[in-house]
């Protein structure tokens, strides 16, 4: 603590992250200095919005008439620059906390990342993070913030406080303003500009920069003090000095030379407040007159997103409840990590509802957007809702209920238009929204059909296919058991598309030229199950038993049936033998019509659970009796299909017949054959996406078969001797270093420290090995 004169100043240290961040800002953002304008104007806008929102419920806070605006003024003689707002202001504690600490999550990470980066911060990083108030130090040696909250029943006599900080100090001061309340309510930030930042004092240049960077940061009026001329005045001339920007002109009188009383003139600077954003907001304009760049700037300023939006739709409408409105719906180019990890827990926060250009709320309460679309960013400006609606009456407004429907309809239309007209853009959309559209189609019952048309799938033939494209590509008679036409799909969550393309279930369809949707995301199977049909086509899981193609390929002729009957007779001994061997795993063993190359596969009954559904189920249900029950249920629903054309299966049949015919050496041969069969069955499970019950046993069997094929003795033991661990060490280490702390590692006494070096293998971001010596 310290005091200057009779002012009691309290000194605070910046939180360490802030000190580091300020240093980065000052040292490395020289070429991006203009951003301080955007950041400070946008903070002023937020403060004004907050005041108006609070005033909806606390009438005393604002009379509804006194101006809400931003004023910017330069004081040439002091080389200083000043921005004021008549917003919500801050008390002493808020000044300390808001400006002295960083509450944002990820700050430390951000700061460390930037500190590691060679050549300082780049534009993208600033954008992703937002420097806010600290950007002042880009252009200022010293920053002074004067602030006072409005009068309220809770705080009837607010005091005006000052926050003051130099760029090179790691502390700031807070004190009560000795001048008393000069602001009414709001905040005034004064920057003592660095000697190389005097460009910002030049008004035409300043206005140009504000237009360039911040004209969309606020819809409150921005006034810039514009000095227009200097007029010499007689000493006794009356002074004209008015301090509010509402009186458009004023003259500020300064002593030209206060010490020289002989000079009977004074220098008079005549200037006026120029309202620099008097044009109507962008969304009120005819879309034909708005450039892409303007839409992008509006988006970036409004939603504080440095990245450009992917697409937008600007439209006018009349809601069913008689409210006319204008709106812009934006599709962002990225989705927050938080949404991706827990999509169903996120709430829409970026639907900005305005009434007559005045921001009212971003919280649509019970009418907020459906979860799947909670990332969409919208500005919606209603013409004729009463302005002084409190939030409670707003909640019950019929218009509010309609916003949800209006926004979602427009969003889907926008996606659809891009899908139809702009392949490249739609490919970009797919990169970000592929999964989200699936979620939408599964979640949003009302819009399910429209959203599902936007969903794209990979298939064995194409990277990206819509359901409509699939249907166009169907083969004649693509039917299942003479019921509906079919869309074939294979679902195996988490597997790669190339793995699915090579699946046993796809091989015949693929060989015959049929298209199969390959579903590898958890949502895919849920979506397909929810849709059930698409334009009269049924979804057919190709991993299920009884697959037919409907093109006459399947046992349609007498000849086919005869051939099959002959094969079944021939293979009967093998099927019976295998059924006994595989009794623990499957319900039945049959000859397969679906396999081309693979010797066998495990398929689910038409009513059974495929490997994929089984995975989905066990992810939400682990362990316990229920698990055993499910295992048992699943076993009964699985069938082992064997491929009579596979030489392996033919060989197996031959051996099984030999064993049945021949008694000699039967036991040993039988044991070996059972081992082969067991590997084949487990292999079929793996091939079909199921888990093997005991993978250790499976691999021990493989080992034995390998030994046999290499002519190595099956019983020859492996030398199992190992060196035992040293005896128990009774000493307890004094301190276990926590994660992230420096690990002080000292070698034991008996090691020569000079020679003690450990090679640590570390992998950098590119995956190269980095060698470090401890």
The footprint of ligand ATP (CB under 6 A) covers 39, 43-44, 47, 85, 87-90, 98-99, 130, 132-133, 187, 304
Q: CB nearer to ligand ATP: give 188 or 510.
A: 188
645 known member of a binding site: no
**Radius of gyration of the CA atoms of the chain, in A:** 38
Q: CB nearer to ligand ATP: give 88 or 582.
A: 88
Q: From the CB of 304, what's the least distance to ligand ATP, in Å? A: 5
Q: From the CB of 281, what's the least distance to ligand ATP, in Å? A: 20
Q: Which residue is nearest to ligand ATP (CB)?
A: 132
Distance of CA 1 to the CA centre of its chain: 45
Give CB contacts under 8 A, 24+ apart, made by 207-210: 207/274, 207/276, 209/34, 209/37, 210/37, 210/41, 210/72, 210/276
Q: From the CB of 48, what's the least distance to ligand ATP, in Å? A: 8
Element holding 555 (H helix, E strand): none
With left for phi above 0 and alpha for psi between -120 and 50, is residue 220 left, alpha or beta? beta
Q: CB nearer to ligand ATP: give 147 or 598.
A: 147
Q: CB nearer to ligand ATP: give 173 or 641.
A: 173
With left for phi above 0 and alpha for psi between -120 and 50, is residue 132 left, alpha or beta? left
43 known member of a binding site: yes
374 known member of a binding site: no
Q: How far apart are CA 214 and CA 187, in angstroms?
A: 18
Q: From the CB of 32, what's the least distance to ligand ATP, in Å? A: 14
Q: From the CB of 390, what's the least distance to ligand ATP, in Å? A: 23
Q: From the CB of 431, what's the least distance to ligand ATP, in Å? A: 26
486 known member of a binding site: no
384 known member of a binding site: no
Distance of CA 474 to the CA centre of its chain: 36
391 known member of a binding site: yes
187 known member of a binding site: yes
Sequence-distant (≥ 6) Cβ neighbours of residue 293 within 8 angstroms: none
Q: CB nearer to ligand ATP: give 301 or 548.
A: 301
CA nearest 640: which of 564, 578, 567, 692?
Answer: 578
Q: CB nearer to ligand ATP: give 132 or 689.
A: 132
Query: In this structure, what is the dihedral angle of CA atoms 615, 617, 621, 624, given to the nearest 10 degrees?
Result: -80
Q: From the CB of 104, what's the least distance to ligand ATP, in Å? A: 7
Q: From the CB of 248, what's the least distance to ligand ATP, in Å? A: 24
Q: From the CB of 127, what's the least distance to ligand ATP, in Å? A: 10
The 8-class DSSP code of residue 474 comes to P
Q: From the CB of 188, what's the least distance to ligand ATP, in Å? A: 9
Q: CB nearer to ligand ATP: give 24 or 575.
A: 24
Q: How far apart are CA 115 and CA 111, in angstroms?
A: 6
Q: CB nearer to ligand ATP: give 130 or 502.
A: 130
Q: CB nearer to ligand ATP: give 43 or 144.
A: 43
Half-sphere exposure of 739 (CA within 13 A, CB side): 0
Sequence-distant (≥ 6) Cβ neighbours of residue 486 within 8 angstroms: 478, 479, 480, 537, 538, 539, 540, 550
DSSP assignment of 10-47 equals EEEEPPHHHHHHHHHHHHH-GGGTTHHHHHHHHHHHHH
- Geometric angle at alpha carbon 349, from 314 and 307, rounded to 5°: 60
39 known member of a binding site: yes
Q: CB nearer to ligand ATP: give 50 or 475.
A: 50
User: Contact 598/507 with Cβ under 8 angstroms?
Assistant: yes
Q: CB nearer to ligand ATP: give 88 or 611.
A: 88
31 known member of a binding site: no
98 known member of a binding site: yes
Q: Is the dihedral of CA 195, 198, 199, 200 positive or negative?
A: positive
User: Contact 464/456 with Cβ under 8 angstroms?
Assistant: yes
Half-sphere exposure of 17 (CA within 13 A, CB side): 16
Q: From the CB of 283, what's the least distance to ligand ATP, in Å? A: 22
| 3-class secondary-structure state, position 568 | helix
Q: How far apart are CA 703 and CA 694, in angstroms?
A: 15
Q: How far apart are CA 554 and CA 557, in angstroms?
A: 8
Q: CB nearer to ligand ATP: give 175 or 433.
A: 175
Phi, psi of 189 (to 5 degrees): -115, 125
Q: How far apart are CA 444 and CA 34, in angstroms?
A: 44
Q: CB nearer to ligand ATP: give 102 or 455.
A: 102
User: Contact 306/374 with Cβ under 8 angstroms?
Assistant: no
| 3-class secondary-structure state, position 55 | helix
Q: From the CB of 406, what's the least distance to ligand ATP, in Å? A: 28
User: Contact 579/590 with Cβ under 8 angstroms?
Assistant: no
Q: How far apart are CA 125 and CA 106, in angstroms?
A: 13
Half-sphere exposure of 724 (CA within 13 A, CB side): 3
Q: From the CB of 305, what's the least distance to ligand ATP, in Å? A: 10
* Annotated binding-site positions for ATP: 39, 43, 85, 90, 98, 104-106, 187, 391
* Annotated binding-site positions: 39, 43, 85, 90, 98, 104-106, 187, 391
């Amino acid at each position: 603590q310290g005091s200057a004169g009779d002012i009691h100043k309290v000194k605070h240290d910046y939180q360490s992250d802030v000190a580091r961040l300020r240093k980065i800002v000052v040292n490395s953002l020289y070429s991006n200095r203009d951003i301080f304008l955007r950041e400070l104007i946008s903070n002023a806008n937020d403060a004004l919005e907050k005041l108006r929102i609070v005033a909806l419920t606390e009438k005393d806070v604002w009379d509804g008439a006194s101006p809400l605006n931003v004023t910017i003024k330069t004081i040439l003689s002091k080389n200083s620059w000043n921005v004021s707002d008549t917003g919500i202001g801050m008390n002493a504690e808020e000044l300390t906390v808001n400006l002295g600490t960083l509450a944002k999550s990820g700050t430390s990470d951000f700061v460390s990342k930037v500190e590691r980066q060679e050549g300082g911060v780049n534009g993208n990083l600033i954008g992703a993070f937002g420097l806010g108030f600290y950007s002042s130090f880009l252009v200022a040696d010293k920053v002074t913030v004067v602030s006072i909250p409005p009068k309220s029943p809770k705080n009837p006599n607010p005091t005006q406080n000052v926050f003051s900080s130099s760029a090179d100090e790691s502390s700031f001061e807070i004190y009560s303003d000795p001048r008393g309340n000069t602001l009414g309510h709001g905040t005034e930030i004064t920057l003592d500009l660095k000697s190389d930042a005097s460009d910002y004092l030049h008004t035409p240049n300043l206005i140009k920069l504000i237009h360039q960077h911040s004209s969309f940061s606020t819809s409150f009026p921005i006034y810039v003090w514009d000095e227009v001329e200097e007029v010499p005045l007689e000493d006794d001339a009356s002074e004209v000095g008015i301090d509010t920007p509402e009186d458009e002109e004023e003259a500020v009188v300064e002593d030209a030379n206060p010490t020289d009383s002989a000079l009977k003139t004074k220098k008079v600077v005549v200037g006026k407040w120029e309202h620099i954003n008097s044009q109507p907001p962008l969304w009120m304009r005819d879309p034909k007159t708005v450039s892409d760049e303007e839409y992008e700037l509006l988006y970036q300023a409004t939603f504080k997103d440095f990245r450009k939006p992917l697409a937008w739709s600007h439209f006018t409408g009349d809601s069913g409840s008689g409210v006319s409105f204008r709106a812009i719906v934006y599709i962002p180019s990225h989705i927050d990590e938080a949404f991706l990890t827990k999509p169903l827990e996120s709430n829409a926060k970026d639907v900005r509802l305005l009434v007559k250009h005045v921001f009212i709320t971003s919280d649509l309460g019970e009418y907020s957007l459906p979860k799947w679309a909670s990332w969409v960013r919208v500005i919606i400006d209603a013409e004729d809702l009463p302005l002084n609606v409190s939030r409670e009456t707003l909640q019950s407004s019929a218009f509010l209920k309609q916003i949800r429907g209006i926004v979602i309809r427009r969003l889907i239309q926008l996606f659809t238009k891009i899908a139809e007209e702009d392949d490249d853009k739609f490919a970009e959309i797919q990169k970000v929204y592929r999964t989200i559209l699936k979620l939408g189609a599964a979640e949003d019952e009302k819009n399910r059909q429209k959203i599902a048309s936007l969903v794209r799938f990979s298939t064995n033939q194409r990277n990206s296919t819509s359901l409509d494209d699939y249907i166009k590509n169907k083969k004649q008679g693509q039917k299942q058991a003479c019921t509906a036409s079919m869309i074939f799909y294979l679902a195996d969550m988490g597997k790669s598309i190339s793995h699915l393309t090579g699946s046993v279930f796809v091989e015949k369809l693929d060989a015959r030229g049929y298209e199969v949707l390959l579903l590898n995301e958890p949502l895919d199977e849920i979506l397909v199950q929810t849709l059930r049909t698409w334009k009269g086509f049924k979804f057919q899981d190709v991993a299920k038993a009884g697959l037919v193609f409907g093109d006459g390929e399947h046992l349609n002729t007498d000849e086919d049936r005869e051939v099959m009957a002959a094969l079944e007779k021939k293979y009967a001994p093998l099927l019976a033998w295998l059924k006994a061997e595989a009794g623990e795993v499957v319900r039945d063993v049959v000859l397969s019509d679906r396999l081309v190359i693979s010797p066998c596969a495990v398929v689910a009954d038409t009513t059974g659970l495929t490997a994929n559904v089984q995975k989905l189920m066990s992810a939400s249900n682990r362990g316990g009796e229920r698990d055993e029950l499910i295992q048992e249920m699943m076993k009964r629903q699985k069938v082992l299909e064997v491929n009579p054309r596979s030489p392996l299966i033919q060989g197996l049949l031959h051996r099984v017949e030999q064993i049945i015919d021949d008694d000699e050496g039967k036991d040993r041969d039988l044991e070996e054959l059972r081992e082969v069969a067991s590997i084949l069955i487990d292999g079929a499970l793996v091939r079909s996406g199921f888990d093997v019950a005991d993978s250790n046993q499976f691999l021990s069997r493989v080992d034995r078969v390998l030994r046999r094929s290499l002519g190595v003795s099956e019983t020859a033991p492996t030398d199992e001797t190992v060196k035992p661990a040293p005896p128990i060490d009774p000493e307890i280490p004094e301190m276990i270093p926590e994660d992230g702390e420096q690990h002080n590692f000292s070698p034991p006494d008996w090691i020569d420290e000079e020679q003690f070096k450990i090679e640590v293998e570390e992998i950098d971001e590119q995956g190269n090995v980095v060698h470090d010596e401890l």
